[in-house]
Amino acid sequence: MASQTVLVTGAAGFLGSHLCDTLLAEGHSVLGVDNFSTGNAANIEHLSSEPRFRFLEQDITKAFEPGRVDYVFNFASPASPVDYARLGIETLLVGSAGTINTLEIARKYNAGYIHASTSECYGDPEVHPQVETYWGNVNPIGPRSVYDEAKRFSEAAVMAYHRYHGVNTHLVRIFNTYGPRLQANDGRVISNFMIQALKGEPLTIYGDGSQTRSFCYVSDLIDGIVRLSRSEEHLPVNIGNPDEWTILECAKEVLAVTGSDSKIVELPLPEDDPARRRPDITRASTLLGWSPKVTLREGLERSLEYFRASVAVAR
């Protein structure tokens, strides 16, 4: 495809930075935007000498003018339960004002738009696996609501800009994803377990570890997102790996990959922690010809060096 100018918000984040790498490798020019609320400058440091990459430190909840762009990837938001609990109001604002501001940019420049939505739109799901037509089971006032409702508002805003203004929008519902650049201290299960295992500390299972998640390796996820961004599909599409693990099984997999003899301990289960989560990816495979390729074992092995380095830096 012809080379484009692409705006990536959340460019210093886990997914945003991987998106920048992929888009630059394809020959596009990228304007990365981040306010380092949860992003990390180290994730884009390697792009500082790349002439097709520009960076703007900007809070997207304030309107800004990026100049002409052909495409907007809206990936700015705190995303780990620990981060959005700490940054509740910021999370609500970025998922409302931030989404509207970036949709206005897409509208102004007649640009394509893809928004990073989430499996959290399904809440603690009663339908399993989760299909896109399921409306979800979300607590609107619980501790996770700052994230869940912001993301649900964003979906409504994206659909409205598509319906009322004809913007070429896309919605990806992202399921649990891991890989290099997942922040070592953001409290998510894979980062916690990998770091704990590498340090020889106990792996902290919340509850009895019977709750499930389905983990997608970052390269598979980025491939699905890029395909969706270029499709004609405007309704939400799940992108994630349907291979479902209990948290206890996940802990054992991390111990196997790291060769660690860390113990496993149980801590209290956080409020409203979803009991199970698994994407139905029929739509992604039919519409995009996409399916994940990397198993949890392979993905953890590919992430090992990154987490080892994170542990070494923290020492």
For 277, the 3-state DSSP assignment is coil
Strands 112-118 and 71-74, by their bridges, are parallel
Pick one of 13, 81, 224, 279: the residue that binds ligand UDP (CB under 6 A).
Answer: 81
b/e code 232-260 from CB counts within 10 Å (16+ = b) = ebeebbbbbbbebbbbbebbebbbebbeb
| 247 is a site residue for ligand UDP (CB under 6 A) | yes
Compute φ and ψ for 169, nearest 5 degrees.
Answer: -100, 160
Q: Which stretch binds ligand UDP (CB under 6 A): 3-11, 205-213, 226-234, 292-300?
A: 205-213
Q: Locate 192 and state its tokens.
A: 């916690």
How far is it, in rounded angstroms, from Cα 11 to Cα 34? 6
Nearest Cα residue to 81 out of 274, 313, 282: 274
Residues of this chain, 147-176, that bind ligand UDP according to CB under 6 A: 176
Nearer to ligand UDP by Cβ, of 232 and 271: the residue is 271
Options 22, 204, 219, 231; binder of ligand UDP; rule CB under 6 A? 204
Residue 150 Cβ vs ligand UDP, minimum distance, rounded to whole Å: 14
Q: Which residue, 143 or 270, is less far from ligand UDP as judged by CB?
A: 270
Single-letter code of the amino acid located at 314: A
Strand-strand pairing, 264-267 and 212-214? unpaired
- Is the backbone peptide bond immediately before 129 cis, with ω within 30 degrees of 0? yes
Position 213 contacts ligand UDP (CB under 6 A): yes
Query: In this structure, which amino acid lies at residue 187?
Result: G
CA-CA-CA-CA torsion sign (121, 161, 30, 97) = negative
Contact map string, positions 38 to 77, toward ligand UDP, x by CB under 6 A: ----------------------------------------
Q: Tell me: does residue 195 bind ligand UDP (CB under 6 A).
A: no
Site for ligand UDP in 265-284 (CB under 6 A): 270, 273
Tokens 């309107």 -> residue: 63
Using CB under 6 A as the binding rule, whether residue 180 contacts ligand UDP is answered as: no
With CA atoms as reference, report the closest residue to 251 among 241, 263, 243, 240: 263
Q: Which of 108, 201, 99 is nearest to 157 (CA)?
A: 99
Q: Which stretch binds ligand UDP (CB under 6 A): 30-38, 50-58, 151-159, 188-196?
A: 188-196
Rounded to whole angstroms, the Cα distance separating 93 from 61 reads 6
Question: Which residue among 71, 84, 113, 147 is the active-site one?
Answer: 147
Residue closer to ligand UDP by CB (options 86, 163) is 86
* Least spacing, CB of residue 203 vs ligand UDP, in Å: 7
* Nearest residue (CB) to ligand UDP, 7 versus 198: 198
Q: Is residue 188 a contact point for ligand UDP (CB under 6 A)?
A: yes
Closer by beta carbon to ligand UDP, 102 or else 211: 211
- Respond yes or no: is residue 122 known to be catalytic: no
Q: Does 192 bind ligand UDP (CB under 6 A)?
A: yes
- Contact footprint for ligand UDP (CB under 6 A): 80-81, 176, 187-189, 192, 204-206, 211, 213, 247, 270, 273
Residues annotated as catalytic are 147
